[in-house]
């Protein structure tokens, strides 16, 4: 018979009790539950990263207003005006909130400018300024909406940047137009609203899209927009993006013709009015403008897309005007002989001129706000402010441009290939040592498309 020695335990420690049947059952139940709980927690931890892999444009973590506003030229002001973000907001959600704020400010500004127009029957200058401003704000709202609903959801960041750059130009130009008609408290109040809210919110939205395009969701790299002067150069864009491909097509066939006698139309403007509204991609409306001098102002509005002016050659087909800032109610913007807003505009083989003369100051021959426009083998004649490349993306090929003071100017991302630039005398009787400025860049924000 073997005797068992008593087991000694450390002080204050109770001997281990063998579990009874109920305890054993409980242990067997709890072990699988603990394993299941651990698996659930692990799944929750992995879920955001898996989601981010499926949707690489979404942030894996929530975005904060402070992160977004790092892109602003005035981060503190941006944070104070920024709307509340939705729960679990991504970077794209934040940018969309910025665009919504910009649109709300644009709508408020349009109501204020409409009040100016309604109260300006006795003032020609104020009436003209408010009408121009309303047009510009409509264009700004259109471009902002396109960026929000079309470009960003499809990952077309370059388009969004171009359109928001244009929107900011229009906002600033509206303010600038009112500046020359600021003779009432209502105009002064409206200009103050542009300065405090409209332009800053437009700038913030543009800067956020710029940072998103360059750095993506890595908001730690975000900051106020920089330019080449700051030593900052953007990565080269991927090939195959939007832009011209060789110039105006050679095989175009006219839909209508314009001439003094025997054609469908006797004026260029009537032919433009006949073009369909909101034509889709590739649906060009070609206007053959036969040889002759057409003394008229021509406007291609926003809804007239893909309009083509086809002339019989420089110096043969001529559209001529003489509006200038010296006339009542005329600003630089609306002094243009030909002004184009509808996207996809093309022109070839014609001359557009403003004959106001060197002492008339600002007198535009051609103004374009047409995105992805192509102008080839055209001539632009004037003095001060001949060619107003106002906004968006423009391509000029084998053109002749003549003027004397800032005669190629504006805020578009323009490319001039094989163009002949001619400097005209600045005065009727030129003096020795006279200086002429060829170009004037209108950039008002470092985030502008360039």
Question: How far apart, in whole angstroms, are the C-alpha atoms of residue 70 and residue 204?
Answer: 9
Count CB-CB contacts under 10 A for residue 50: 11
The 10 Å CB-count burial string (b at 16+, else e) for 78-108 is beebbeebeeebbbbbbbbbbbebbbebbee
Q: Where are the alpha helices (DSSP H) in 69-118?
A: 75-81, 91-118
Q: Which of 141, 204, 371, 406 is catalytic?
A: 406
Residue 204 falls in the annotated catalytic set: no
Question: How far apart, in whole angstroms, are the C-alpha atoms of residue 162 and residue 77?
Answer: 24
| Cβ-contact 27, 19 below 8 angstroms | yes
Tokens representing 298 are 């021509």
Q: Which of 67, 135, 385, 445 is catalytic?
A: 385
Residue 67 falls in the annotated catalytic set: no
Count CB-CB contacts under 10 A for residue 51: 11
* DSSP secondary structure string for all residues of 305-367: -SEEEEES-TTTEEEEE---TTSTT--SGGG-SEEE-STT-EEEEEEEEE-S-GGG-B--SEE
C-alpha distances in angstroms, 139 versus 17, 175, 247, 302, 370? 83, 14, 26, 8, 11
Catalytically annotated residues:
385, 406
């Amino acid at each position: 018979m073997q005797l068992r020695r008593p087991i000694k335990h450390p002080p204050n420690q109770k001997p281990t009790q063998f579990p009874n049947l109920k305890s054993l059952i409980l242990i067997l139940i709890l072990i699988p539950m603990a394993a299941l709980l651990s698996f659930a927690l692990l799944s929750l931890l992995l879920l955001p990263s898996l989601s981010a892999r499926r949707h690489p444009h979404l942030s894996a973590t929530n975005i904060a207003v402070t992160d977004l506003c790092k892109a602003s030229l005035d981060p503190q002001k941006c944070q104070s005006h920024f709307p509340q973000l939705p729960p679990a907001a991504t970077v794209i959600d934040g940018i969309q909130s910025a665009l919504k704020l910009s649109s709300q400010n644009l709508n408020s500004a349009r109501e204020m400018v409409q009040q100016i127009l309604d109260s300006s029957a006795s003032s020609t200058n104020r009436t003209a300024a408010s009408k121009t401003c309303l047009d510009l704000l409509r264009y700004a709202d259109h471009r902002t909406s396109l960026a929000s609903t079309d470009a960003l959801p499809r990952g077309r960041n370059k388009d969004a940047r171009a359109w928001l750059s244009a929107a900011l130009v229009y906002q600033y130009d509206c303010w600038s137009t009112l500046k020359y008609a600021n003779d009432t408290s209502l105009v002064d109040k409206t200009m103050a609203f542009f300065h405090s809210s409209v332009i800053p919110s437009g700038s913030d939205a543009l800067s956020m899209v710029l940072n998103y395009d360059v750095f993506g969701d890595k908001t730690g790299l975000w900051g106020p927009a920089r330019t080449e002067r700051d030593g900052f150069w953007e990565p080269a864009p991927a090939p195959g993006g939007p832009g011209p491909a060789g110039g105006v097509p050679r095989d175009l066939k006219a839909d209508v013709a314009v001439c003094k006698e025997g054609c469908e139309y006797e004026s260029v403007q009537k032919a433009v009015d006949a073009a369909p509204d909101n034509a889709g991609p590739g649906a060009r409306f070609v206007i053959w403008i036969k040889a002759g001098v057409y003394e008229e102002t021509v406007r291609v509005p926003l809804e007239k897309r893909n309009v083509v002016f086809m002339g019989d050659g420089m110096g043969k087909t001529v559209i001529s005007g003489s509006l200038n800032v010296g006339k009542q109610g005329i600003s630089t913007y609306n002094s243009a002989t030909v002004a184009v807003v509808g996207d996809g505009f093309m022109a070839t083989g014609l001359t557009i001129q403003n004959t106001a003369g060197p002492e008339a100051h600002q007198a535009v021959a051609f103004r374009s706000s047409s995105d992805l426009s192509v102008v080839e083998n055209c001539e632009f004649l004037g003095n001060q402010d001949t060619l107003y490349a106002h906004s968006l993306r423009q391509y000029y090929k084998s053109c002749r441009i003549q003027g004397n003071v800032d005669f190629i100017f504006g805020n578009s991302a323009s490319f001039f290939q094989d163009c002949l630039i001619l400097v005209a005398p600045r005065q009727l009787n030129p003096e020795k040592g006279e200086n002429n400025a060829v170009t004037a860049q209108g950039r008002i924000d470092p985030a502008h498309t360039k």
